[in-house]
Each structure stands twice: as C-alpha cells, then as structure tokens.
Chain A
Amino acid sequence: MQIPYTVAARPDTGLHNSKLGIWLFLASEVMLFGALFSSYILLRVAAPEWPHGSALLNVPLAFLNTIILIGSSVTMVMSWASLMVKDFAKYKRYMGLTILCGFGFLVVKGFEYGAKFSHGIFPSEDLFYATYFTLTGLHGLHVIGGIIVNAYFWGPGSKMWAREPERFTNRIEVAGLYWHFVDLVWIFLFPVLYLL
C-alpha cells in the first residue's frame, strides 16, 4: 500500500500529510507543556515563598545548554536547506552536528542532575525541585526522542534520499519542526526556572 500525499500537497489542505500531522502533534505538545506551565504558575503563586532559581541551580551550565540547543536548531535547519539544494554530503554533516549538539545538551543536563543527586537532592526535596525535575525531565525526554529520530535519518533512514529525494527532504523538514519546538520549549524553561 502506498501512503498518499507524502510529496505532493493534498488539494484540500494545501499541505503534504506529514506536515499537517506534525503540526497537529505539536499542537498537542503545546497543551502538554502548557498544562505543566499552568501548574507551575498555580503552585508558585500559591506558595508562601518560592526560591530564586539562580540561588539553587547552575545558571552558567543552563546558559551553555541554551546556546547548544539554539545552535542545534540552526544546524537542523541548515541540514534541510542542504537537501533543498541537493547537497547530501552537507546534509550529513549538519545533521551529524545536530545529533552531537543533542548529546551535548544531555551531557550538560546530566552534570546538573548529577550534582543535585550527589547532594541528596531529588524531586521529593520540595515543591521547587519537584517542578524543576518534572519540567526539565519531560523536556529531556523530548531531546532523547529527537536524537533517536535524527540519528535514524542520519543513518539507515537516509537511504531514502537515493530513491525518493523529495519525500526524504519533507521528512527532514518535519523532523526539524519537532526539533525546533523542543528548542522553543527550552527558550521558555530557561528563564522561568533558572532566572526568576
């Protein structure tokens, strides 16, 4: 069976199916993170006192992670742009860099978590750490998910380029939309958790 509208736009939506699919998925992701942000606001407003993030968390490491993740968004969009000009070697380089940045983010996050755990600080510590670990943990899982998808498209999945280049380019665009969303969530998480 052939999946319809993977390259051509569907006449009634004006989009190829995977693009509409990813936007609907991202809409559900907005609600998932929105629910957690909403809970965060409620908990913070209701709490008798709330610590300043920078007093408890490592701002320089989070700043470094912000730069890594924004950088990875740029390499991701460049990997798609490389395919648009039919430069597969360049695509491989940029996608490889995106995956490395993803791992870099997780390693830095690992150091942050490790430092907390070694001091006996876990999500059960207090309300602040419970929200911190929940929000960054869920975001971290999204980074891991993105790395898996990107690694597939960098490795075995890239064979599609030889057979169906346009379809493969669309796949990278869609994977990119997800990856940029993960970056976007972090852009809000960083000030909310670390700087306020």
Chain B
Amino acid sequence: MDQATTEDIKKHVRAYIMVFVALMALTVITVAVSYLHLDVTAAIVVALFIASIKGGLVASYFMHLISEKKLVYFTLMLTVVFFIALISLPLLGLHDTIK
C-alpha cells in the first residue's frame, strides 16, 4: 500500500465498488434465505456461510488483507487460533460426561 500510484488507486476504487455491490447482493440473499424457513441447522450453516463470505470480502479488500505484510498475517493467525479455542472450549463442556 505504501508506494501505490494514482493508477493503482483507481484500480482499488473499482474493486471497492464491485465489493460494495457484492456485499449488497449477499445481504439481500441472507434475508431472502431466512424467508425459506429452512430447518435450524441448515439455516445456521447458510447464514454463517454467507456472513463469512461478506466478512472475507470486507477484510480482504477494505482492510487490504489481500496485500499485507507478514507480521499482520502472523498476528491474525494467532488470533484465529485463540478465537477457535474460545469458541470450542465451552462447546467441549457439552460432552462432559459428569452430570
């Protein structure tokens, strides 16, 4: 990002507008799917899948993660590991055999 030229920025701007359109379309799809009244598991999977794509687009393009420095990726990978631990630890409790 540091040595971007005017031409580079123009390309970025085009990408931002395309991402914006994609995010709008995915938001409409998320709401539309909720009217299909899928069963709970399917609804959760679909909703989280679409949200992850949207989140990925925001992180990749708006937050420039498609072209970042190694240390940022390292920091985020560490965050992902801890985040997964945070989400799974309470779920492991569900399989606790001691009632």
Contact = CB atoms under 8 A, between A and B. Distances in A.
Interface of A: 9, 13-15, 19-20, 23-24, 27, 30-31, 34-35, 37-39, 41-42, 45, 54, 59, 63, 66-67, 70-71, 73-74, 76-78, 81, 84-85, 173, 176-177, 180-181, 183-184, 187-188, 190-192, 195-196
Given A35-B86, A187-B51, A191-B48, A78 B16 contact: yes
B47 A85 contact: no
A190 B28 CA distance: 12
A187 B62 contact: no
19 contacts: A14-B69, A20-B71, A24-B75, A35-B86, A37-B87, A38-B87, A74-B19, A74-B62, A85-B9, A181-B63, A184-B55, A190-B51, A191-B30, A191-B47, A191-B48, A192-B47, A195-B30, A195-B43, A196-B34
B86 A77 contact: no
Interface of chain B, main secondary structure: helix
Interface of B: 1-2, 4, 6, 9, 12-13, 16-17, 19-20, 23-24, 27, 30-31, 34, 40, 43-44, 47-48, 50-51, 54-55, 58-59, 61-63, 69-72, 75-76, 78-79, 82-83, 86-87, 89-91, 93-94
A66 B4 CA distance: 31
B83 to A, nearest CB: 5
A35 B70 CA distance: 27
> Lowest 9 A-B CB distances belong to which pairs?
A191-B47, A195-B34, A27-B79, A14-B69, A42-B90, A180-B62, A74-B20, A34-B86, A187-B54
Given A9-B69, A13-B71, A14-B71, 15 more contacts: A20-B71, A23-B76, A31-B82, A38-B89, A38-B90, A39-B90, A42-B90, A74-B17, A84-B4, A84-B9, A181-B63, A183-B58, A188-B55, A192-B48, A196-B44
A102 to B, nearest CB: 15
B59 A15 contact: no
A78 B12 CA distance: 9
A67 B87 contact: no
A173 B62 CA distance: 10
Contact of B12 (A23, A24, A81): A81
Contacts of B2: 9
